[in-house]
Structure 1
Amino acid sequence: MRRDSEMKLGLYLAWAGYHAGAWRDPSVPANGGVDVNHCAHLAALAESAAFHFIFLADSQGISDNQALIARSSYSGGFEPITLMSALSSRTQDIGLVATATTTYYQPYHLARMFASLDHLSRGRVAWNIVTSAFDFEARNFDEKTLPDHETRYARAREFVDAVKGLWDSWQDDAFIRDKHTGIFVDTTKLHLPDHRGKYFSTRGPLNIPRPPQGYPVLVQAGASEAGIAFAAEMAEVVFTAQPFLESGKRYYATLKEKARALGRADNQVLVMPGIVPIVGKTKQEASDKLQRLQSHIHIDVLIGGANLWLGSMTDLHSIDLDSLLPEALPQTNSIQSRQKLLVDLAVRQKFTWRQLIQLLSDSNGHLMVVGTPEEIANVMVDTFDQHGADGFNVLPATVPGGLKDFVELVVPELRRRGKFRSRYSGQTLRENLGLKRPLNRRTQVGASSSP
């Protein structure tokens, strides 16, 4: 199927902004993580620009590093499904992507919550499927450490299969609600999932009708070998960190090839890398914005954040930060793909530890573009045209200011070049993304031919 000529755009909803120093910026509300009006304002800005969705990341806990906790804003925010429920009533068209882990939920819980959220929003919901990545999460669920990397992905695969079965408990037209006959639901259109696997058993059925979209859109962010295989099989939108065009093109080609081998069409697996745009009327103005943000960051935040993303495999307090990184670090059981990406980047750029730590606080390994609206649009269009992306998850360094700059300055430039839409084209998130609505697998095989 033909690739869309316009890119997709999502907003990564960070309370203060994506930069580690954002919360200290005078223009940023310090309590944004628990202020629903602030979150609704950001959603409204994105919706006014016809963004496809807002995306909310999550973790089931916070770091044990007290110095990092004290000086960073990461621990002060809403749980995603709760917030998206609130935002569903304060938005009309934009998609709502909520993160939920397959490691520490049960399939019935999540199937029911996401089905409810899809109904509340009239078909605008997506599930960002993650496996928990840190041992501090495990300790909130009566475990000392995470399951190993391969086990987490095997569990995730079965989890998604069980959730789909629960979403397919009822055929789309099962709930007839006929007051004349007294029949509320046609039980001949009920199908018991009765999933019994290695990791889960859930009989079903789900006690809510099938979601308006059939299934909420499935989003995933894996880039390890296991993660790419999972994304090729399951994901409809893939969020990835790709700081360079050439590596992004390789990732894009690899993922699409693996998906095609499984019988999936290219335009049903959308690759959307993150981009951190810092916009200025001149490049110098944009650079000054970045330097001001960098000045807000304490060394404890720099080192604590780097430890998390690098898998806590090196004691950064005991090494010479001005020495070059080695070509490899011991493999982590945390986020393996991000650790590898960052080490490869540092070796390629001949970074010192200090330079890598600074980059992590700026962008966490995502593509960062500091410049004018034209320069940022150039990078985005070039990446899109060279098949390094189907669109981008935009990670403003600060909010609302950084998002407002992008909406008012970069989006018009993308539209002028014919690369981004000016209005919503469908009612559901699937329709707006050009994704097919899955048929109930209990009654039919395959998927419908139209979005």
Structure 2
Amino acid sequence: MSDENRLLTVNINVLGVGQRPAAWRAPDIRPDAIVDLAHWQNVARIAERGLVDAIFLADRPAITDPRSRPVQYLDPGVLVPAMAAATEHLGFVATASTTLNEPVELARRLWALHTATQGRFAWNAVTSWDVEAVRNFGITEVPERAVRYARAEEFVTVIKRLWETAGTSDVVDHDGSFSVHAGLEMDALVPERPAIVQAGGSEPGWRLAGLVADGVYSVDHDPASAAEHRQKIRSYAVEAGRSADDVRVFPGLAVVIGSTEQEAWDRFDHWEHLAPATYSLNELSKALGADFSGLDLDAPVPEKVLADAEAQDAGWSAAYRRVLIERIRSEQPTIRRLLRDFGGYGQRFLAGTPEQIADTMEEWFRAGSADGFNIMLDLFPSGLEDFVDQVVPELQRRGIFRREYGQGGVLERFRRP
């Protein structure tokens, strides 16, 4: 592998105005920022100043209760072109479901974003486990995982074939779990195809990633298991006739930055205390499929709750749930301690100095546990500014992050020179 490919991939996962539930209350954030394109363009400019690979938009096609927190109300199809117009190099990863969409319509929509951004676009292909989102598409029950992943493999393969018809008169003829007899009927104005990102942490997800993905968004919490899962994905890529280096793995990492570790934790606690009192407890209840409201917060999570959670197949991400259960069993925290450390809401969470955050990223990168990270920040834009101005220089000083665009990254293989 060349030195170019040994640079970190760094994506910024943008969730509304920040990962902290009370981020919308920050004094430098207007109440309407979440639906204001100027806010999103400002975020994109800051990210590009930090030379990051991409803005990652994790979309959920369901309306959440704004009384708990505003999350996302503008479709990625609106946000990506707006942010692309304000930047020159920054990539964009937008989520769309293989379970809830139809291939020809989605292929056209994604190709249009690929063209409008001059090749700076990637599709995050997800299989959708969310009951509320599924019902919005007239589906009464979430299909079983095996069914969803089988459709995803077929779906992504057909999408890629449809993209190949751009600029030609070719037609894709496919009859399987769905039928396609169409061509893209759009010009091929940008070299290559959109990059494909896959988010999944189960065996079917790893196999799908090895088969079709250029990048993988993972949820591992410790470097040993992360290295094992990354190697599985790379092995599946080789089995599919690809190079192991064709796919990059970037775990989620939620961070809060401070000049000292205590300052970072104080910042975290400040924003957590401004959130609805039961927010984290409710999120933990959803994650494990149990009602935590009547449990002793100073006792460990009951074993029956963990056993029942392992038997579930819907309601929350299977990968998030598996990693959370493994962590609870390993560390045996009280529920109160778990709630504080659950600040990443499924992601690995770290509160610390820029040096401590860079230490963790470098450790995972050099150990082969990650090719990069999907970074979640507490507040936008202030948390992003801290990351760009304090963490990025640390990564550059260590020689593991670019000093200018054009030195690699999961999207740059498909970006116009």
- TM tier relative to shorter chain: over 0.9
Question: Which stretch has the larger CA shift, 247-256 or 7-16?
Answer: 247-256
**Matching residue within 124, 130, 144 for 1:128:** 124
Structure 2 distance, partners of 1:385, 1:28, is 37
1:338 aligns with 2:342: no
Q: What corresponds to 1:242 in structure 2?
A: 220
Q: Which runs of 5+ in 2 are unaligned?
A: none
Corresponding residue for residue 433 of structure 1: 410
Aligned to 1:56: 57
1:183 corresponds in structure 2 to: none
- Give 1:54 shift: 0.7
Q: Deviations over 1:6-56 (max 9, x none)?
A: 211111112211222322333333332201111110110010111111110
Q: Give a deviation string over 1:65-98, Cα, whole Å, max 9, x none.
A: x6xx422222x42111221122222211111111
Equivalent position of 1:191 in the other structure: 170
Letter in 2 for 1:319: L
2:234 counterpart of 1:256: yes
Query: Which position in structure 2 is the counterpart of 1:95?
Result: 91
Local SS of the residue matching 1:255: helix
Distance 2:254 2:14 in 1: 12
Query: 1:228-281: CA deviations, max 9, x gaps?
Result: 111111111001112222222222222222222323223211011112222212
The separation in 2 between residues aligned to 1:296 and 1:257, in whole angstroms, is 45
| Cα drift, residue 114 of structure 1 | 1.1
Contact 2:53–2:411 (CA<8 Å) still a contact in 1?
A: no
Aligned residue in 2 for 1:320? 296
Deviations 1:348-376 (A, max 9, x none): 1102333333333x102322222221111
Alpha-carbon distance between aligned partners in 1 of 2:7 and 2:356, rounded to the nearest angstrom: 18
In the alignment, is the contact (CA less than 8 A) between 1:2 and 1:267 conserved in 2?
A: no
Note the C-alpha offset of 1:382: 1.0
What pairs with 1:143-182 in structure 2 (closer than 5 Å)? 143-170=139-166, 174=167
Q: How far apart in 2 are the matches of 1:254 and 1:95?
A: 27
Residue 215 (structure 1) aligned with residue 215 (structure 2): no
**Aligned partners of 2:295 and 2:261: how far apart in 1?**
34
Q: For 1:413 and 1:435, how far apart are their aligned partners in 2? A: 23
Tell me the distance in 2 between the aligned counterparts of 1:95 and 1:243: 26
SS of alignment partner, residue 368 of structure 1: strand
Change in CA separation of 1:98 and 1:122 when aligned onto 2, cut-off 3 Å? same
Q: SS of the residue aligned with 1:388?
A: coil
1:86 to 66, 82, 86: 82
Aligned counterpart, 2:332: 350
Contact 2:406–2:412 (Cα < 8 Å) also in 1: no
Give 3-state SS (helix, strand or coil) of 1:272's partner. Answer: strand
Closer/same/farther in 2, CA of residues 167 and 31 from structure 1, 3 Å limit? same
Out of 253-262 and 133-142, give the one that drifted further. 253-262
Task: Kindly tell me the number of residue pairs found equivalent between the two proteins.
Answer: 410
CA contact (8 A) 1:222 1:228 kept: yes
Q: What is the TM-score of this pair, normalised by structure 1?
A: 0.85
Q: Rg bigger for which structure?
A: 1
Separation in structure 2 between the aligned mates of residue 372 and residue 233 of structure 1, nearest angstrom: 38
Q: Secondary structure at the match of 1:96?
A: strand
Maintained 8 Å contact 1:268/1:436 = no
Deviation per CA, 1:274-299: give whole Å up to 9, x if none: 12222212222212111111211223
For 1:14, give the aligned amino acid.
L
Alpha-carbon distance in 1 for matches of 2:117, 2:238: 31
SS at structure 1 position matched to 2:62: coil
TM-aligned CA deviation for residue 141 of structure 1 = 1.7
Q: What's the RMSD between the two structures over aligned residues?
A: 2.2
- Identical counterparts, % of pairs: 32
1:73 matched to 2:70? The reply is yes
Q: Which residue identity lines up with residue 247 of structure 1 in the other structure?
A: S
Distance 1:309 1:396, change over 3 A: same
Is 1:379 matched with 2:360?
yes
Structure 1 unaligned regions, length at least 5: 175-188, 439-450
Measure how far apart 1:390 and its partner are. 0.7
Tell me the amino acid that sits aligned with residue 334 of structure 2. T
Q: Show structure 1 runs of 4+ deviating over 6 A.
A: none
Opposite residue 50 of structure 1, the aligned amino acid is L
2:29 corresponds in structure 1 to 28
Change (3 A) 1:323 1:332: farther
Is the 8 Å Cα contact of residues 214 and 410 (structure 2) preserved in structure 1?
no
Which deviates more, 329-338 or 52-61? 329-338
SS of alignment partner, residue 6 of structure 2: coil
Does residue 294 of the first structure (1) align with residue 272 of the second (2)?
A: yes
1:194-219 Cα offsets, whole Å, 9 max, x none, are 22212x21211112123624220000
TM-score norm. by structure 2 comes to 0.92
Tell me if structure 1 keeps the 8 A contact 2:91–2:411: no
